Amino acid sequence: MFIENALRYDARVHVLDPDPDCPCAAIAERYVRGSFADRDTVLDFVREADVVGIEIEHVSVEALEQARAMGKRVIPDPAVLRTIQDKGAQKLFYQEKGIPTAPFTLVEDRATLLASPPPLPAFLKARTGGYDGRGVLPLRGSQDLERAFDGPGVVEHHVDIALELAVLVVRDDAGNTMSYDPVEMVFDPRYNLVDHLRAPARVDAATARQARQLAEQVAGAFAATGLYAVELFLTRDGQLLVNETAPRAHNSGHHTIEACASSQFDQLLRLYLGLPIGDGRLRAHAAMVNLVGEGGRGEPVLNGLSDIVHVPGAFVHLYGKRETRDGRKMGHVTLLAGDHLALDQGIAVTRLHGRVVPAAMNSTPTPTQA
């Protein structure tokens, strides 16, 4: 998605990824196979680059620091990434900066956790390496403590969530800051993964304004050029808490491709090139429905494609991943509509018919097969 937009500017994008079948390999100017967690591999890869960015947090920060020392423009700031890579450090950062976040404690390992169990329900989160709900264990009762992983973790009090929101913030070199309309995220309890989101979020104007202010405060606290996706909890008693921040393009901003003049990917490119921040106003009510793999592993096929493309204002994005797996994000559908009601209908059709399954389970041919 980043490359699709970058091509319009004649920007040349090089990609480093361990998987030669990764979707971007087919459309990048240059693809290099390798681990982005390996310092030397990253340094070797960025030698020719003017600007270095990331798509995932689990990269060698040391390499990015060195790339910056070599004079490269590196976004996000490696120092920000270092804080964000560690959920414990991230929570301490919010605390230090006076940013409201769920109460927490840090645990060294499983033994420490079991020695003095927290009040339940709670959430146990791996300090490093988690992604898309992996590394997050809800502790509903004492029986869940048995399943706790071993290693450094954050134990968070269970928050009584009314709504999960996300706000994308863009911050340029001069410190100019722009936030997008808050989006409302609806989770799939099976995978602890976003099922769909809608923008604008169905909250009152004061809450929307506070959410944007809080997200801008987070970007201000990081005090560095970048794109920040700030995940928020709106509690049942009306409080806004910061859950976590991703210093990169994020699933909660995919709708901006069609719903705004300047998408999150466009903003990122503008930051990379030192161009002014773009227009992020919503042009319509928008929803983004994740297409998540189900029915096991295999070559992916999207069932229900003809039903989805029938919906006015539907935009299908299939990522071109070669293998579908349960819970793997395989694509998404963006829906634009004039109001929330029309949006509801599009979401319902997409969720009812849209299924990414292994080819063997498929009943109708799709472009992926052709």
Ligand X SMILES: Nc1ncnc2c1ncn2[C@@H]1O[C@H](COP(=O)(O)OP(=O)(O)OP(=O)(O)O)[C@@H](O)[C@H]1O
Q: Which residue among 38, 65, 109, 132 contacts ligand X (CB under 6 A)?
A: 132
Q: Is 136 exposed, middle or buried (0-12, 13-18, 19+ CB in 10 A)?
A: middle
Chain-centre distance for alpha carbon 199: 15
Site for ligand X in 218-237 (CB under 6 A): 231
Give the contact letters, 221-260, x = binds to Mg ion (CB under 5 A), - = no: ----------x-----------------------------
52 contact partners, CB below 8 Å, separation of at least 6: 46, 64, 67, 72, 73, 74, 75
| Partner in contact with 161, chosen from ligand X, Mg ion, none, beta carbon below 5 to 8 Å by kind | ligand X
Q: Is 188 exposed, middle or buried (0-12, 13-18, 19+ CB in 10 A)?
A: middle
Joined tokens for residue 193: 């993964």
C-beta of residue 271 within 8 angstroms of C-beta of residue 172: yes
Give the contact letters, 157-196, x = binds to ligand X (CB under 6 A), - = no: -xx-x--x----------------------x----xx---
Q: Which residue among 23, 78, 130, 331 contacts ligand X (CB under 6 A)?
A: 130
Give the contact letters, 266-305, x = binds to Mg ion (CB under 5 A), - = no: ----------------------------------------
- Site for ligand X contains 144 (CB under 6 A): no
At residue 14, what is the residue type? Answer: H
147 contact partners, CB below 8 Å, separation of at least 6: 137
Q: Which residue among 123, 180, 222, 228 contacts ligand X (CB under 6 A)?
A: 123
Closer CB to ligand X, 63 or 102, in the complex: 102
| Partner in contact with 133, chosen from ligand X, Mg ion, none, beta carbon below 5 to 8 Å by kind | ligand X
Please state, in angstroms and rounded to a whole number, the distance separating the CA atoms of residues 150 and 155. Answer: 13
Please state, in angstroms and rounded to a whole number, the distance separating the CA atoms of residues 78 and 200. Answer: 31
Positions in the binding site for ligand X (CB under 6 A): 102, 123, 125, 130-133, 135-136, 156, 158-159, 161, 164, 187, 192-193, 231, 243-244
